[in-house]
Structure 1
Amino acid sequence: MGGLKPRTLSRRFMQETGMSFSRWRQQARVIRSLEALSAGMPVANVANECGYDNVSAYIAAFRQRFGITPGLYFT
Structure 2
Amino acid sequence: MFVKKTGLTFGHWRRQLRLLCAIELFDTGENVTDAAFEFGYCDVSAFILAFKIAFGTTIAKHFKFRI
Asked whether the two chains share a fold, i.e. TM above 0.5, the reply is: yes
Give the match for residue 15 of structure 1. Answer: 4
Q: Which structure 1 residue ranges, 4+ long, deviate > 3 Å from structure 2?
A: none
Q: Which has the larger radius of gyration?
A: 1
Give distance in 2, aligned partners of 1:72 and 1:41. 17
Structure number with the bigger relative contact order (C-alpha 8 A, sep ≥ 6) is 1
Q: Within the alignment, does 1:73 sit opposite 2:62 as a pair?
A: yes
C-alpha distance after superposition, 1:13-67 (max 9, x if no partner): 1111111100000000000101111122111111011111111111111111211
* Structure 1 stretches lacking a partner, 5+ long: 1-11
Give distance in 1, aligned partners of 2:40 and 2:60. 18
- The counterpart of 1:46, out of the listed 25, 35, 39, is 35
The TM-score with structure 1 as length reference comes to 0.76
The TM-score with structure 2 as length reference comes to 0.83
Q: Could you say what the CA RMSD is over the residues aligned between the two structures, in angstroms?
A: 1.2
Paired letter, 1:74: F
* Structure 2 stretches lacking a partner, 5+ long: none
